Homo-oligomer: A and B are copies of this chain.
Amino acid sequence: MGTGSRKRILVLGGGFAGMFAARELQRRVGRVAEIELINEVNYFTFQPLLPEVAAGSISVRDAVAPLRRLLPGVRVRQAQIYAIDLERRIVTIFQGLQRRYTEVSYDHLVLALGQTVDLSRIPGLAAHALTMKTLSDALTLRNAVIDKLEHADITALPEVKKELLTFTVIGGGFSGVETAGEMKELIDRSLVFYPNIDRSEVRVLLVEFADRLLGELPASLGEYTRRSFEKRGIEVRLRTGIREATGTAIETTDGELIGTRTLVATIGNAPSPLVARLALPNERGRLRADRTLRVEGHDNVWALGDAALIPLVETPSERSHYAPPTAQFAVREARTLAKNIAAALDGRPGAPFVYKSKGALTSLGARRGVAEVYGLRLSGLPAWLLWRGYYLSFVPGFATRMRVAAQWLLDSMVGRSTVQTGMRQGPGTRYVRYRAGDRVFEEGNRADGFYAVVEGAFELRFRDADGSETLRRIGPGGHFGERVLLGEGLRTGTVRAIEDSVVLVVGAEDFGRLTKALPALRAHFEHGVATGLIASDLEDAIERQVRLDEG
């Protein structure tokens, strides 16, 4: 694969860190070395613009740019990374639709794998919260918001309407603030099309565990943001965490139960599982690099960006002594990295990474922003214009930059569209969490899936042919819903969670296909249906029924 004696530099990851690293490397050593970048998608995502994509103020293709176009001369592979072998200097990947493993060799390895989101620490959050990391996340959020407005416009149930019109963002950092601001704008602009929704019924909630918003900016700007949000009708809850989430509510650490059917989590940054698995020194999931961006103890392994812990001083002793995980730093790190790899190829020593932030800025939506640049604090329209200008200068590629500018201009003149992008995803299976007491189904409901109990317990109440009512308890391993999917389309009973519970839901169409393709499975369920049995474990179910009947 290598071209004779040309050294191979392999960059893993195509975010700000990886993309700029490959770019700088190509500029510096592209003539003497082969640069290759491997990423899961073939485009670079301009993450700070994702909330604007969600709100529809810029279009999808203006928030992304093809890696190949951004990186002329660099070999770009769209592939999943499966394993890294530091001994053999080999990365194992899966490419495209292929089923075979492919091995890619390197002389120098650059780890720019960023971070992932881990919501598993709060029950129900992984199952019910949307995130804001990828293009797909942004589109999913837009569809979710519009779905809720559509539904709220026509529902006859006041409680449901309230839940539908409560939109919650968890996390008051840059991403959470931008998401809340843009989401509020999207809703405000859309309401004109929903005659049955009154502005006063909509509630946008921003929940932050710390005592202020935008922890990376001066306190005065965090406070400005809070006040600006409150004025625009965005409720800010500080010193508040989330204890549990379901499809219809969250419970805060104060014990308050808030009905909400749209939940965006901008918290839970976690190391890439690949980085965590590597036998490389790491601290809180970030790879320990030295000041030249080399991973400690390895001459030919480098790290930068969110995945790396890079000291800014000789003997770091506090958090501020490390480079923060921001795009601004990642781009500067990329330059140092390229210089140092060039030096390493020449047998020269590398130079330490030195950079002082020029400031930070963010949009609050509705033509307001906050910024601190060169020690100067700005807020409102000036900060917002600065933000737009700054990011426009950043958008890679002339064509895309022109498009974004044109769209922003159009957007300021004419309304934006409230349309869904039509990519309704029907995942095969999904987990759903219920709190004790939550009703899953009522009589007359449509059968929308098969429910397998993973955790907790449910009570099934139905009327037999002779009119007598039967009560049944269904615990882990048990299931419900197959009765109606295999027979009649309408529920014949009521199902309620009697403990905090988790179910795995299989969509009606997938369930139908599965039982058709697997006669054994069908027979298993039909047996249950015929005898009136729902739980899979016969004796256990009977025993439980007896207990319930007695109780």
Contact = CB atoms under 8 A, between A and B. Distances in A.
B69 A422 contact: no
Report the contact-size class of chain A (Cβ under 8 Å from the partner): 35 or more
B398 A414 contact: yes
A502 B141 CA distance: 36
Interface stretch (A91-99, A228-236, A282-290, A344-352): A91-99
A516 to B, nearest CB: 8
Interface stretch (A24-32, A56-64, A172-180): A56-64
A422 B136 contact: yes
Interface string A508-521: 00100110111111
Contacts of A59: 59-61
Contacts of A207: none
Interface in A496-527: 503-504, 506-507, 510, 513-514, 516-521, 524
A438 interface: no
Interface in A44-96: 45, 56, 59-61, 64-66, 68-69, 75-79, 94-96
Contacts of A420: 41-43
Nearest to A452: B517
Contact of A417 (B64, B448, B510, B518): B64
Contacts of A66: 193, 417-419
B425 A428 contact: no
Interface string A93-108: 0111111111000000
A477 interface: yes
A436 interface: no
A343 interface: no
Contact of A419 (B64, B77, B136, B139): B64
Interface in A411-428: 413-415, 417-428
Interface in A116-158: 134-136, 139, 146-147, 150-151, 154-155
A281 B426 CA distance: 35
A42 B139 CA distance: 15
A439 to B, nearest CB: 11
Q: Is the interface of A mostly helix, strand, loop or mixed?
A: mixed
A399 interface: yes
Contacts of A417: 43, 61, 64-66, 69, 399-400
Contact of A514 (B414, B418, B429, B513): B429
A199 to B, nearest CB: 16
Contacts of A43: 417, 419-420, 422
A445 B400 contact: no
13 contacts: A68-B418, A69-B418, A95-B150, A96-B147, A97-B261, A101-B444, A102-B154, A136-B423, A400-B417, A402-B410, A421-B423, A425-B425, A518-B536
Interface of A: 41-43, 45, 56, 59-61, 64-66, 68-69, 75-79, 94-102, 134-136, 139, 146-147, 150-151, 154-155, 160, 193-195, 261, 398-400, 402-403, 406-407, 410, 413-415, 417-429, 431, 441, 444-446, 448, 452-454, 477, 479, 503-504, 506-507, 510, 513-514, 516-521, 524, 536-537
